[in-house]
Amino acid sequence: MIPNQFDDAEERIRDTELAIQRTEEILAENMALRSRMRGLVDAAYREIDRLNEDHSAG
């Protein structure tokens, strides 16, 4: 490899590292949002069950 090719390879490696880092950040954000959404869905199901029980008892 000639020096210019080394520079190009190093730049591609840096770009790839940044892309991996950003992907990891996005993945962490998505996992946190998924957890929050799962909690909301579970709470909604619990509320529906409670309302159905109240309606059945009444």
Rounded Cα gap, residues 18 and 24, in angstroms: 10
Residue with tokens 């020096």: 3
pLDDT band at 37 (very low <50, low <70, confident <90, very high): very high
Rounded Cα gap, residues 3 and 26, in angstroms: 35
Rounded Cα gap, residues 53 and 58, in angstroms: 9
Rounded Cα gap, residues 14 and 4, in angstroms: 15
Instruction: Indicate the pTM of the whole model.
Output: 0.67
User: Who has greater pLDDT, 58 or 54?
Assistant: 54
pLDDT band at 2 (very low <50, low <70, confident <90, very high): confident
At 3-13, the pLDDT tens digits run 788 899 999 99
At 15-36, the pLDDT tens digits run 999 999 999 999 999 999 999 9
Cβ-based neighbours of 52, under 8 Å, separated by 6 or more: none
